[in-house]
Amino acid sequence: MPDRPKNVVILGSTGSIGESALKVARDIPDRMRVVGLAANRSAEKLAQQLAEWDVQEGCLADSTLLDDCRRQAPAGVNLRGGEDGLVELATLPEADMVLIAIVGTAGLRPALAAIEAGKDIAVASKEILVMAGEAVMTAAREKGVRVLPVDSEHNAIFQCLEGRNSSEVSRLILTASGGPFRKKPAAELAEVTVEQALNHPTWEMGPKITIDSATLFNKGLEMIEARWLFDVEMARVDVIVHPQSIVHSMVEFVDSSVLAQLSVTDMCFPIQYAVTWPERVPNQLPPLDFAELAKLEFEAPRWDDFPALRLAQRAGTEGGTLPAVMNAANEVAVAKFLEKSLRFPKIWETVEETMDAHAVVAHPKLEQILEADSWAREFAAGLLT
């Protein structure tokens, strides 16, 4: 056992993943100590967390609310604002690991800064690897730091691979719940409401990722994330629908054997494994009751009715700036859908149109990725006005 707990900074502590990470810290205090917390606009909640967890370093990305947060946070807490504040928190000298659980693309600069400062990163924010997988993994290799996957599917694959070489892998098989519209006829998708799309059958998550689960863009983003995390080309990344969300993903090896990772659906499992890896430690989480489960089902995804998967395959195969463009256009369209000013299928139609209009830059630098991201946001917003 290590002689002290791992010091972890949580970026996005007020969100669904952030709260699960705090639960993990409570569950395994000998292994995980929280040393920094960051949010965007939840000033009161961040102040409460800083007090409850006795954390001295905090950041609120929206600086206009910083005074509010300062008033409510315990005296003596070092609070900063803005993107620079996130970067400062991600590079705290006492941090061993930075958990990136910020929704959207705002986690990219802090993630790269953490790597540059020699910190391991635990990545929940899939946008980071989708936009800049090549740059992030190259920087991590150069610095000799770890990129530990927190997304349950990638954490499952990470557990199944246990360091095996990608040449031994014939397929990474990501499981997908299928979302709330798994059985909905294609003709009815145009009429689905925001409330129906937010009603995920198996996972409790933030609103953006829940809509992505309904369109299957979430699985598409995960395909690209897997491509970079595990260094396999898109042709070896597959998807299978598994409505119970108990098998979190699988690896098929070249000898046709398959390893799978299973657990109760709770993000505390992958978060804990990312923190304690390569060790496993006891916790308060419930084990699986196989007799109660009774059955695990699998079915092929509806590729034609949910075009997000093919768009992601295309973006991941073509690479360059295209995944960043896909991701940005999707964020714009999802935000509009959540505002109830867009029909559901318009999400993927907007993404496709934006991807078609983009001139891809191969092996982009960070600035080119960010440029493509801004371009796509503007273009997609233009399509929706």
Q: Which residues bind ligand NDP (CB under 6 A)?
A: 12-18, 38-42, 61, 86, 101-104, 106, 124-127, 151, 203, 205-206, 209, 267
Least separation in angstroms between residue 173's CB and ligand NDP is 18
Q: In this complex, which beta carbon is closest to ligand NDP, that of residue 41 or of residue 184?
A: 41
Least separation in angstroms between residue 265's CB and ligand NDP is 9
Q: In this complex, which beta carbon is closest to ligand NDP, that of residue 338 or of residue 360?
A: 338
Spatial distance between the Cα atoms of 90 and 99, rounded to a whole number of angstroms: 9
Least separation in angstroms between residue 7's CB and ligand NDP is 20
Tell me how far CA of residue 281 lies from CA of 2, 29, 32, 330, in angstroms: 12, 11, 11, 38
- CA 346 remoteness from chain centre: 23
Least separation in angstroms between residue 241's CB and ligand NDP is 17
Q: In this complex, which beta carbon is closest to ligand NDP, that of residue 174 or of residue 383?
A: 174
Q: In this complex, which beta carbon is closest to ligand NDP, that of residue 316 or of residue 383?
A: 316
Taking the chain, what is the end-to-end CA distance rounded to the nearest angstrom?
57
Residues ≥6 apart with Cβ < 8 Å to 59 = 11, 36, 37, 38, 39, 79, 80, 81, 85, 86, 88, 89
Amino acid at 367: E
Q: In this complex, which beta carbon is closest to ligand NDP, that of residue 296 or of residue 338?
A: 338
Least separation in angstroms between residue 190's CB and ligand NDP is 25
Amino acid at 169: V
Q: In this complex, which beta carbon is closest to ligand NDP, that of residue 104 or of residue 201?
A: 104
Least separation in angstroms between residue 93's CB and ligand NDP is 21
Least separation in angstroms between residue 209's CB and ligand NDP is 4
Q: In this complex, which beta carbon is closest to ligand NDP, that of residue 32 or of residue 205?
A: 205
- Using the CB atoms, write b or e for 55-93: b if 16+ within 10 Å: bbbbbbbeeebbebbbeebeeebebbbeeebbbbbbbbe
Least separation in angstroms between residue 167's CB and ligand NDP is 28
Least separation in angstroms between residue 100's CB and ligand NDP is 8
Q: In this complex, which beta carbon is closest to ligand NDP, that of residue 5 or of residue 206?
A: 206
Residues ≥6 apart with Cβ < 8 Å to 208 = 103, 104, 331, 334, 338
Q: In this complex, which beta carbon is closest to ligand NDP, that of residue 87 or of residue 311?
A: 87
Q: In this complex, which beta carbon is closest to ligand NDP, that of residue 40 or of residue 261?
A: 40
Tally of CB atoms within 10 A around 171: 18
Least separation in angstroms between residue 2's CB and ligand NDP is 26
Tell me which residue has its CB nearest to ligand NDP: 15
